[in-house]
Amino acid sequence: MSHDAPSTTAHAEEDDAISVGALIDDLKSEDVELRLKSIAKLGTIAKALGAERARSELVPFLAERDDEDDECLLAIAGELATLIDAVGGEEHVHVILAPLETLITVEETVVRAKAVETACAVGRAMTPGGIGKYFVPLIERLAQGDWFTARVSACGLFATAFERSEESQLELRNTLTGMFRDLCADETPMVRRAAAQNLGKIAIVSSGDFIVNELLTMFAALTSDDQDSVRLLVVEDCVVLGKLLSATDCANKIVPIVLKLAADKSWRVRYAVAQQIYEMCDVVGAEVAAKGLFDAYVALLGDSEGEVRISAAGKISEFCSLAGAVYSAEKILPKVHELANDSSQHVRAALAEAVLGLAPTMGKDTTVEKLLPVFFILLKDEFPDVRLNIISKLEQVNTVIGVEMLSTELLPAIKELAEDKHWRVRLAIIEYIPVLAQQIGTTFLFQKDEGSDSGDDLLNSLCLQWLQDSVYSIREAAANNLFRLTEIFGADWALEYIFPRIKELMSSHHYLYRLTVLRAVSLLAPAVGEEVILGEILPIIKHATTDTVPNVRFNAAKALSPLIKAIDVAKFQSEIRPILVGLQSDPDADVRYFASEVLTSAA
């Protein structure tokens, strides 16, 4: 036995050598797919080699490898993260920085981003001493690189360096601060953009004193950059810094900058402010926000650029909740009326999605007097998305004033959406009807449809109409819709409102509509119970088994399957089994097949 151990070890080393050799050969292959497969095995090979050989053989090979394919470079940048533990832990993990340094400077953006991400993971795995010895020098080389790509990548490494270096490493932190300050003032806009993107990340891992004494100076410089692409990235930093600073520092140092950016000459910067201003107001509180931020928001609602108005309109309910009913009624509601008649349909759609959220803040009287007129304007909008958005938020206004005040205008809007020429609009209103019925009750849905010659209630008219739609997705959604409504309102409701209509539709000359009925009743079975199944659903399906169209007959066989699961065995034997046995003698092969399938599954 003592002689076997060396032999086993020798074989293992030989296998490792073969694996590494094969890996290296594959990495040199002309075939990209083969190289990618080899790269995906880097972590496994590193573990097989052991930490020392991974450091001395595998990592240097990867550092020297110059692949021209971006897909392979991206794969390597990601897979290098799997080597962090395999090269020997925090004392040796710095060796991975060598191949990453090459990847961090390539031209392709996604490769650089992935390499920076992996380098940060490596940095977090290093000791504070290792950060100073290996990680910061890497940043320094990149920050002084001739190509802007290296300097852009360097910006992404600072947060990790500040986080992992200790406060006692004063000289090291001063070096990092000086380098980042230089990058914030770099001559290349792309570098300054990267600095703006990462300033907030650095602030999160830094002390309050460092933010006030160092970062705010760099931040202020970036907010005055001559490139709007830099200034708009600083907007997000306003919120990050505001959360980290004291209330006084935030009010004195951040709010004035937000107000300046809210009036920026570039609409893209104002758009970014419109997206962030509510969160900024929430950070500083209503009392501080009332001294300028509220008015800045009102100005954004009336901005000359449609994209800015869209962004601002989407925040209107949250903003009014923070500002309160008095300010909102005086300053914001007049803008709401203007936006309801905006020339841009997308602005009106954004308003429609948010405006009903004002109702709880404004209260019943103001909602009736000021918001309902806006509601009715939007409900009659020619753009279907506007009408859909307003209807989808009905619950918010219903809790304040009740739906009765809206029903006169609501019913025609629902009917128009149900008949819209765009099938996706019809689909959206179908899927929303059960939610709407559950939120505000069925009273308004079962009102008589004035536009119907038969005098049917609205819901029945729509159900019949949707089940006969020319688009399959609409018919399928309509069948599912009936099931969801039955789940909400029960079998008695279905007996009164649903079954009379679908029985009529079963006599339609169009076989596709008869198929839709079969789909609907098979879905309804679990929701109505055995009595309704045997008394209403089974006769419909049984009649379909004699249909002249084979497709209808084999779908009738399939529709029996859900019924079997919902009734007892005796009823299956006496009521359903004979139908399936009869279908096994059908002249059509598909009908016979599906009948046999259902019988087999029921056995």
**Per-residue pLDDT band at 22 (split at 50, 70, 90):** low
> Reduced to 3 states, what is the DSSP secondary structure of residue 456?
coil
Q: Are residues 597 and 510 in the same domain?
A: yes
Of 211, 278, 288, the residue nearest 248 (C-alpha): 288
How many other C-beta atoms can be found within 10 angstroms of the C-beta atom of residue 21? 10
CA–CA dist 65, 61 (Å, integer):
6
Q: Are residues 575 and 508 in the same domain?
A: yes
Instruction: For the chain, give the number of residues.
Output: 603
pLDDT tens sequence across 181-236: 999 999 999 999 999 999 999 999 888 889 999 999 999 999 999 999 999 999 98
pLDDT at 91 over 90: no
**Per-residue pLDDT band at 62 (split at 50, 70, 90):** confident
CA–CA dist 366, 373 (Å, integer):
11
At 3 the pLDDT is 44
pLDDT tens sequence across 365-410: 888 888 888 888 888 888 888 888 887 777 766 667 666 666 666 7
Q: Which residue has the higher pLDDT, 564 or 394?
A: 564
DSSP letter, residue 586: -
pLDDT at 427 over 50: yes
Of 581, 476, 481, 494, the residue nearest 537 (C-alpha): 494
At 350 the pLDDT is 93
Contacts 24+ apart (CB under 8 A), 86-91: 86/43, 86/46, 86/47, 86/51, 86/54, 87/46, 87/51, 87/54, 87/55, 87/59, 88/51, 88/52, 88/54, 88/55, 89/51, 89/125, 90/125, 90/126, 90/127, 90/130, 91/127, 91/130
pLDDT at 507 over 90: no
Of 478, 547, 546, the residue nearest 517 (C-alpha): 478
What are the Cα distances from residue 31, in Å, to 38, 67, 71, 108? 11, 12, 12, 21
CA–CA dist 88, 531 (Å, integer):
71
Residue 396 included in any domain: no
Residue 366 included in any domain: no
How many other C-beta atoms can be found within 10 angstroms of the C-beta atom of residue 462? 25
CA–CA dist 475, 518 (Å, integer):
11
**Per-residue pLDDT band at 10 (split at 50, 70, 90):** very low
- Contact yes or no for 245/280 (Cβ under 8 A): no
| Most confident of the ranges 299-313, 359-373, 406-420 | 299-313
Among 68-72, 218-222, 274-278, 542-546, which stretch is predicted with the lowest mean pLDDT?
68-72
* pLDDT (average), residues 406-427: 76
Domain boundary among 451, 466, 489: 489
Q: Which residue has the higher pLDDT, 308 or 460?
A: 308
Q: Please tell me the total count of domains within the chain.
A: 2
CA angle, 276 then 277 then 283, to 5° = 95
pLDDT at 521 over 50: yes
Place of tokens 């070890």: 9
What are the Cα distances from residue 462, in Å, to 333, 360, 415, 469? 35, 31, 8, 10
pLDDT at 503 over 90: no
Residue 213 included in any domain: no
pLDDT at 447 over 90: no
Q: Are residues 544 and 481 in the same domain?
A: no
At 12 the pLDDT is 46
Supply 446's token pair: 């079962």
At 27 the pLDDT is 65
Q: Are residues 580 and 516 in the same domain?
A: yes
* pLDDT (average), residues 539-552: 91
**Per-residue pLDDT band at 356 (split at 50, 70, 90):** confident
Among 94-108, 303-317, 389-403, 462-476, which stretch is predicted with the lowest mean pLDDT?
389-403
Residue 69 included in any domain: no
Q: Are residues 508 and 571 in the same domain?
A: yes
Q: Are residues 477 and 531 in the same domain?
A: no
Of 232, 221, 288, 285, the residue nearest 262 (C-alpha): 232
At 51 the pLDDT is 85
- According to the 3-state scheme, what is the secondary structure of 344-398? CHHHHHHHHHHHHHHHHHHHHHHHHHHHHHHHHHHHCCCCHHHHHHHHHCHHHHH
pLDDT at 9 over 50: no
| Percent of the chain's residues with pLDDT above 70 | 87
Q: Are residues 519 and 472 in the same domain?
A: no
Q: Are residues 472 and 540 in the same domain?
A: no
At 529 the pLDDT is 84
pLDDT at 5 over 90: no
pLDDT at 19 over 60: no
**Per-residue pLDDT band at 439 (split at 50, 70, 90):** low
| Domain containing residue 424 | 403-489
pLDDT tens sequence across 236-259: 899 999 999 988 899 999 999 999
pLDDT at 459 over 90: no
* pLDDT (average), residues 325-345: 93
At 444 the pLDDT is 58
> Reduced to 3 states, what is the DSSP secondary structure of residue 568?
coil
pLDDT at 67 over 70: no
Q: What kind and span of H or E run contains 137?
A: helix 136-143
Residue 587 included in any domain: yes
Domain boundary among 489, 523, 544: 489
Of 192, 168, 173, 190, the residue nearest 182 (C-alpha): 192
At 57 the pLDDT is 80
**Per-residue pLDDT band at 86 (split at 50, 70, 90):** confident
Q: Are residues 467 and 513 in the same domain?
A: no
- Contact yes or no for 322/357 (Cβ under 8 A): no
Residue 510 included in any domain: yes
Helix count and strand count (H, E) for the chain? 44, 0
DSSP letter, residue 104: T
Q: Are residues 528 and 483 in the same domain?
A: no
* pLDDT (average), residues 430-440: 74
- Contact yes or no for 355/342 (Cβ under 8 A): no
pLDDT at 442 over 70: no
Helix-helix angle 384-392:423-440, to 10 degrees: 20
* pLDDT (average), residues 262-286: 94
At 466 the pLDDT is 85
CA–CA dist 244, 253 (Å, integer):
12
Q: Are residues 478 and 425 in the same domain?
A: yes
Q: Are residues 418 and 485 in the same domain?
A: yes
Among 2-6, 22-26, 271-275, which stretch is predicted with the lowest mean pLDDT?
2-6
CA angle, 121 then 126 then 130, to 5° = 135
- Contact yes or no for 487/527 (Cβ under 8 A): yes
Supply 372's token pair: 């309902």
CA–CA dist 158, 165 (Å, integer):
10
CATH number at residue 588: 1.25.10.10
* pLDDT (average), residues 435-450: 62
Residue 421 included in any domain: yes
Domain boundary among 435, 458, 489: 489
Residue 470 included in any domain: yes
| Percent of the chain's residues with pLDDT above 90 | 40
Mean pLDDT of the chain, nearest integer: 85
Q: What kind and span of H or E run contains 8?
A: helix 4-27
